[in-house]
């Protein structure tokens, strides 16, 4: 059986990256000829039986107040019990912020091999090999998992969500739940913005924008495209934009369908965080900017003239 | 206060990525090695800042690797570690590395274990969580701020579209993200001092890898950029909609 960890956001909704994990897990189960089931730990406001449309037949739900906030230590112990009680042989996570904390703990707890950051379904005809991105997107590795229980965490945006028509049976799972040692005292969400890691389109600015006061023209384009906002390292270092918008080697790594880089030269460290984007557009007045070599589409021009026209052209589509 | 900072040796960002032995091994032939940037800029520098705020703090560094990792750990000592430990074994997978680090951590009874959010070679983000589990300690991943008040830490961690602020009692394992500290350059005094700082070599404990790399591959080459005239931005929008189908 393939068990999929369903991650719940602070507002009680299932995270988009978990819908990708559900679709991935359901397709893997089909490939293996077994059932796909889900497990939910945090309180959810959604009707969980509706998650059956992603291909799971059953959802295990653990109801306990101690699970309201994510704590990797508590969650790993509960998930280990879920694996044992359900007889799962593969566990699927999203490689999102929670998945990065809990999947390794579960792996160590169960001595179950983990491939973190999978980008495709495993090859299962001869063993169990999972493809993942390595060397900051410059290569791939096929990684064999040799243990009886296998764990995969799927990179956000690496797998398309597919919806069918089924419903899932929701069953309560009895598990021992410890009191969390990590106490969450505040959650700050950037309201009205598209979370960067989940964004299908990302608009990103660099030093070419000349100052934080010019970000409005980038925000206008992002709003029209329903895109997440990002920036290059010098911009975050100069405190023009918050650190959580920095994408690149030492910032966040993202893989949107469309990445629009504006006024960014494209240093190799920046590319390392964005080169898994499916389509890259570069707007830069310097025709020699290295980013043009990695781009699919480009405009050599003054961004202060190009961006308003870009926003206007997108508006015309509607 | 005793802090253990985990240091990994990674290929320089600009290194050319190539493979040998029928694409089963990374070609290290002409690679320049560096301290994994997330370990250096964020984990180690934040530990150094904590030591600067409280002089009684001791920083130990740990790396898992063969003798060729010594140069890297000396560089980390030059930045400000007090003592280094190298577990004398080639790393196999995240679990074997985590098992060795957990053993060192058990022996040293540390209040804090810091490491970078991920290594820039295998991009796993796995070792911190595994170390925490093996030590049965709380784990805070992707920390962007870390403040200490006696034996309680206030940590800000990245979540999708925002941040979460948490409190935790020591000991704790923390993976460090951008925002924790600003990169520093080792000075001559640090480099000279690092030469005489202790670098202990310990033998590994027996562990078994849970995964193995079957094969590497390179992504297909890009077709090349399609340039659109700056006076015809509408054409770019048309291409993104009709050709690339991304808007």
Check A143 against B211: CB less than 8 A apart: yes
Chain B residues within an 8 Å CB radius of A301: 230
> How far is the C-alpha of A2 from the C-alpha of B95, rounded, in Å?
22
SS3 labels along B81-130: CCEEEEECCCCCCHHHHHHHHHHHHHHHCCCEEEEECCCCCCCCCCHHHH
Selected for mutation to probe chain B from A19, A201, A250 (highest B CB count within 10 Å) is A250
- For A256, the token pair is 């949107």
Q: Which CATH superfamily is domain A2-172 in?
A: HUPs (3.40.50.620)
Nearest to A299 among B169, B223, B236 (CB): B236
Mean pLDDT in chain B?
95
The whole-angstrom distance between A174's CA and the closest CA on chain B is: 22
The whole-angstrom distance between A37's CA and the closest CA on chain B is: 24
Determine the pLDDT at residue A191.
64
Cα dihedral A94, A95, A101, A107 in deg (nearest 10): 80
Closest residue on chain B to A186 (Cα): B165
Closest residue on chain B to A182 (Cα): B168
Closest residue on chain A to B13 (Cα): A269
HSE of B122 in the Cβ direction (CA atoms, 13 Å)?
Answer: 22
The whole-angstrom distance between A150's CA and the closest CA on chain B is: 9
Q: Which of B116, B5, B172 is nearest to A183 (CA)?
A: B172
Contacts of A280-283 spanning 24+ positions with Cβ under 8 A: A281/B236, A281/B240, A282/B225, A283/A307, A283/A310
Nearest to B140 among A129, A132, A182 (CB): A182
Check A140 against B216: CB less than 8 A apart: yes
pLDDT tops 80 at residue B61: yes
Q: Which of A244, A272, A230, A102 is nearest to B144 (CA)?
A: A244
Q: What is the pLDDT of residues B25-53, one digit of tens each?
A: 999 988 999 999 999 999 999 999 999 99
Q: How far is CA A6 from the centre of its chain?
A: 13
Tens place of pLDDT per residue across chain A (318 aa): 999 999 999 889 999 999 999 999 999 999 999 999 999 999 999 999 999 999 999 999 999 999 999 999 999 999 999 999 999 999 999 999 999 999 999 999 999 999 999 999 999 998 999 999 999 999 999 999 999 999 999 999 999 999 999 999 999 999 999 999 999 999 988 766 788 888 999 999 999 999 999 999 999 999 999 999 999 999 999 999 988 899 998 888 999 999 999 999 999 999 999 999 999 999 999 999 999 999 999 999 999 999 999 999 999 987
| Interface confidence: ipTM more than 0.90 | yes
Pairing of strands B139-149, B172-176: parallel
Chain A residues within an 8 Å CB radius of B211: 113-115, 143-146
0.90 cut: is pTM over it?
yes
> How far is the C-alpha of A147 from the C-alpha of A111, rounded, in Å?
8
Check A145 against B214: CB less than 8 A apart: no
Buried b (16+ CB within 10 A) or exposed e, A81-90: bbbeebebbb
Residue spans per domain, chain A: 2-172, 196-317
Q: What is the pLDDT of residues A157-211, one digit of tens each?
A: 999 999 999 999 999 999 999 999 999 999 988 766 788 888 999 999 999 999 9
Nearest to B120 among A10, A136, A295 (CB): A136
Looking at domain A196-317, does it have CATH number 3.90.1300.10? no
- For B87, list phi and psi in degrees, rounded to 5: -85, 120
Chain B residues within an 8 Å CB radius of A160: none
Give me the residue label for tokens 């906030």. Answer: A69
pLDDT tops 90 at residue B227: yes
Q: Which of B149, B184, B146, B130 is nearest to A76 (CA)?
A: B130
> How far is the C-alpha of A113 from the C-alpha of B55, rounded, in Å?
41
The whole-angstrom distance between A76's CA and the closest CA on chain B is: 9
Chain A residues within an 8 Å CB radius of B241: 317
Determine the pLDDT at residue A247.
95
Q: How far is CA A315 from the centre of its chain?
A: 28
Q: Are A150 and A143 in contact (CB under 8 A)?
A: no
What chain B holds in terms of domains, given with CATH numbers, is 2-219 (3.40.50.620)
- Domains A2-172 and A196-317 are alike in CATH topology: yes
């Amino acid at each position: 059986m393939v068990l999929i960890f369903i991650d719940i956001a602070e507002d009680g909704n299932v995270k988009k990256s978990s819908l990708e994990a559900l679709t991935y897990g359901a397709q893997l189960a089909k490939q293996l000829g077994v059932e796909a089931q889900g497990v939910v730990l945090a309180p959810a406001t959604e009707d969980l039986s509706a998650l059956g449309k992603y291909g799971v037949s059953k959802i295990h739900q653990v109801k306990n107040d101690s699970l309201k906030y994510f704590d990797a230590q508590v969650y790993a112990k509960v998930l280990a019990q879920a694996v044992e009680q359900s007889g799962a042989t593969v566990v699927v996570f999203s490689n999102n912020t929670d998945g990065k904390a809990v999947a390794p703990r579960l792996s160590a707890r169960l001595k179950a091999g983990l491939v973190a950051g999978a980008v495709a379904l495993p090859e299962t005809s001869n063993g169990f090999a999972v493809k993942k991105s390595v060397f900051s997107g410059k290569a791939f590795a096929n990684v064999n998992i040799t243990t009886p229980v296998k764990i995969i965490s799927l990179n956000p945006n690496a797998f398309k969500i597919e919806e069918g028509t089924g419903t899932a049976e929701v069953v309560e799972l009895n598990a021992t739940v410890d009191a969390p040692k990590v106490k969450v005292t505040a959650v700050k969400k950037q309201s009205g913005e598209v979370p960067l890691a989940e964004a299908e389109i990302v608009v990103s600015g660099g030093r070419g924008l000349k100052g934080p006061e010019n970000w409005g023209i980038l925000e206008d384009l992002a709003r029209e495209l329903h895109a997440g906002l990002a920036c290059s390292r010098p911009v975050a270092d100069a405190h023009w934009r918050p650190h959580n918008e920095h994408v690149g080697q030492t910032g966040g790594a993202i893989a949107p369908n469309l990445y629009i880089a504006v006024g960014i030269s494209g240093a190799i460290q920046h590319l390392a965080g964005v080169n898994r984007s499916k389509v890259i557009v570069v707007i830069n007045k310097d025709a020699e900017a290295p980013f043009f070599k990695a781009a699919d589409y480009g405009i050599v021009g003054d961004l202060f003239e190009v961006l308003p026209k870009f926003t206007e052209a997108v508006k015309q589509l509607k | 206060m005793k802090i253990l900072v985990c240091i990994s040796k990674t290929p320089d960002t600009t290194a050319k990525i190539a493979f040998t032995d029928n694409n089963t091994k990374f070609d290290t032939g002409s690679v320049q090695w560096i301290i994994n940037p997330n370990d250096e800029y964020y984990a180690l520098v934040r530990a150094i800042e904590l030591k600067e705020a409280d002089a009684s703090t001791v920083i130990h560094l740990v790396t898992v690797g063969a003798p060729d990792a010594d140069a890297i750990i000396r560089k980390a000592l030059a930045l400000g570690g007090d003592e280094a430990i190298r577990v004398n074994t080639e790393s196999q997978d995240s679990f074997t590395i985590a098992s060795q680090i957990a053993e060192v951590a058990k022996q040293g009874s540390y209040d804090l274990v810091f490491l970078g959010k991920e290594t820039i070679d295998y991009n796993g983000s796995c070792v911190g969580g595994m170390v925490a589990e093996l030590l049965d300690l709380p784990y805070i991943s992707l920390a962007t701020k870390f403040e200490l008040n006696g034996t309680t830490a206030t940590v800000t961690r990245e979540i999708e579209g925002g941040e979460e602020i948490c409190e935790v009692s020591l000991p704790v394992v923390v993976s460090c993200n951008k925002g924790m500290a600003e990169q520093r350059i080792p000075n001559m005094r640090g480099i000279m001092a690092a030469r005489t700082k202790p670098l202990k070599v310990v033998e590994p404990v027996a562990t078994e890898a849970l995964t193995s790399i079957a094969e590497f591959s390179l992504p297909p080459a890009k077709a090349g950029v399609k340039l659109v005239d700056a006076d015809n931005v509408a054409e770019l929008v048309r291409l993104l909609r009709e050709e690339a189908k991304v808007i």
